[in-house]
Amino acid sequence: MLRTLRHQVWAPPAPTGYKDGVAEWADPDSLMKRAEASRSLASELSNGEQPDPRDMIQVIALGANDPLRDMLADDSLESVERLALCLASPAFQWR
């Protein structure tokens, strides 16, 4: 999975590690690959159960007005989909 996300273990492109600028993270290919990886990981983590994505609020630092907080509580979306969106979110991936 890390190779697919262009973050192969022990192989950064420079001695300073992987860059975290918008140019490296926000291109369409990277966004799509992170979304697909997040969906796969959420499915694996759920293991057939219905996880409560609101539990993720305790793991990541969300601002009071962060829209992710409302999305995690939105029961109109399946819990696995909300978990995947959380894993793909900038707030989660920044950590």
Q: What is the pLDDT of residues 52-87, one digit of tens each?
A: 888 888 888 787 888 888 888 898 999 899 999 888
Give the predicted TM-score (pTM) of the model: 0.73
Q: Classify residue 6: in a domain, yes or no.
A: no
Q: How confident is the model at residue 48 (pLDDT cuts 50, 70, 90)?
A: confident
CB distance 83 to 46 below 8 Å: yes
Please, what is the angle between helix 79-88 and helix 28-46, to 10°?
A: 140
User: Which among 64, 67, 65, 61 is positioned nearest to 82, based on CA atoms?
Assistant: 67
The one-character DSSP state at 13 is S
Containing domain of residue 34, as a range? 22-93
Q: Classify residue 14: in a domain, yes or no.
A: no
Q: Classify residue 45: in a domain, yes or no.
A: yes
Q: What is the pLDDT of residues 12-38, one digit of tens each?
A: 888 888 877 777 777 888 888 888 999
Q: Classify residue 13: in a domain, yes or no.
A: no
Give the total number of structural domains in the chain.
1
Q: Classify residue 11: in a domain, yes or no.
A: no
Q: Classify residue 88: in a domain, yes or no.
A: yes
